[in-house]
Amino acid sequence: MINLSKTDEQLWQDLISGDESAFSTLFERHHSLLVGYGISLISHRETVQDCVQDVFVDVWLYRQSLNPSVSAKAYLISSVRKRIARRHERDKIFRKTTQLDDSLEKIIEFSLDFTVEDRLIANEETLHKVRQLNQMLNALNARQREALYLRYHQGLSVDEIADILDINKQSVSNLLHRALRQLRRDWTGSTPLFLLVSYLTI
């Protein structure tokens, strides 16, 4: 299991040159997070599982045309999103007969709700604050939440997020900043945490 200590970059390059075990290691390393991201876009778990597998099938079949210098994780996340969007589009066409569905979501939307890690909070006051913050976070629009998720949970760069969400870099920065600025506004409105204000002016 020497692969376990290899970085994504090494594994990605080994995979491109045809190393089956590098492929398997990358799969096992990212499978869970890709499924997690997928079910935040559409709730049907089996469809997500299918799409994630199909992405990896294509990665292997077309490995020679992959760019060795991109981040494997960003590439996989982006491919899973595209694949799910395409599947959703196709299913929508097939479901046209049920008219009720037609008015519903036209495109896939990030629908994951952030949760509170309350096991780690000892005092009541902090818990109250964190819960309020959590409510504000979940009141942000889908794009803002998705940008926050990709930036801080998946550790992707602004450039990579721009590529995934198919918007320009400046728009991603705006999404992220506006999200936190909005938080700050709501936050300061409810609790006097004025110190935060000075730190959030960017």
Partner 1 sequence: MQQRDRYQSIEDFLADDSFKAWVLTGQDPDQWEAWTVEHPQRSAIVENARNLWLAMQVPDPKVTPEESVAALQSTWQKIVQAEDNVIAPTWRWWRSAAAVLLLGCGISLAWYIYRDIVVTPGTSYTELIENTSDPVLERTNDTDHPLLITLADGSSVLLQPDSKLSFPAKFEGRERKVYLSGEAFFEVSKNPNQPFLVYANELLTRVVGTSFRVKAFADQDDIEVVVRTGKVNVSSSSVAADSSEEELLLLPNQGVRFSRERLAFEKIDDLTQEKQISQKLSNIERLSFEFSDVPVAQIFKTIEQAYLVEIDFPEEKLKNCYLTTSLSDEPLPQKLKIICSSLGPDASYAIEGNKISVSAKGCD
CB atoms within 10 A of CB 91: 13
Nearer to partner 1, 54 or 109 (CB): 54
165 binds partner 1 (CB under 8 A): no
In the chain, what is the straight-line distance between the N-terminal and C-terminal CA atoms, in Å? 45
- Give the nearest distance from C-beta 102 to partner 1 in angstroms: 30
Which one of 32, 43, 168, 170 is in contact with partner 1 (CB under 8 A)? 32
Under a CB-based contact definition with an 8 Å cutoff, are residues 28 and 11 in contact?
A: no
Told to check if 43 binds partner 1 by CB under 8 A, we report no
Instruction: Indicate the burial class of 44 (C-beta count within 10 angstroms; 0-12, 13-18, 19 or more).
Output: middle
| CB closer to partner 1, 70 vs 112 | 112
Q: Are 41 and 52 in contact (CB under 8 A)?
A: no
Q: Tell me how far, at minimum, the Cβ of 90 lies from partner 1, in Å.
A: 18
Nearer to partner 1, 92 or 127 (CB): 127
State which of residues 5, 120, 124, 192 lies at the interface with partner 1 (CB under 8 A).
120
Distance CA 169, CA 160 (A): 9
Closest CB 17 distance from partner 1, rounded Å: 13
Task: Confirm or reject binding of residue 117 to partner 1 (CB under 8 A).
Answer: yes
**Per-residue contact string for residues 44-83; x = within reach of partner 1 by CB under 8 A:** -----x--xxx-xx--xx----------------------
List the one residue out of 4, 32, 33 whose CA is nearest residue 153.
33
Backbone angles phi, psi at 68, to 5 degrees: -70, -15
Q: In whole angstroms, how large is the CA radius of gyration of the chain?
A: 20
CB atoms < 10 A from the CB of 116, how many? 14
Contact in structure between 55 and 76 (CB atoms under 8 Å)? yes
The residue ranges that bind partner 1 (CB under 8 A) are 20-21, 24, 27-28, 31-33, 35-36, 39-40, 49, 52-54, 56-57, 60-61, 112-118, 120-121, 126, 129-131, 133-134, 137, 148-149, 151-153, 155, 176, 180, 183, 193, 195-196, 199-200, 202
